Amino acid sequence: MAERFARLEEYERWREPTKIDFEADLGHEAWNAYWAMWDSINVEMCKCQDFVNKLRDQVMQALQR
Q: What is the pLDDT along the chain (65 residues), one digit of tens a residue?
A: 999 999 989 988 998 888 999 999 999 999 999 999 999 999 999 999 999 999 999 999 999 98
- Which DSSP state fits 65? -
Whether 11 and 17 have beta carbons less than 8 Å apart is answered as: yes
User: What pLDDT sits at residue 58?
Assistant: 97
Could you please report the per-residue DSSP string of 1-64? -HHHHHHHHHHHHHSPPPP--HHHHH-HHHHHHHHHHHHHHHHHHHHHHHHHHHHHHHHHHHHT
User: What pLDDT sits at residue 31?
Assistant: 98
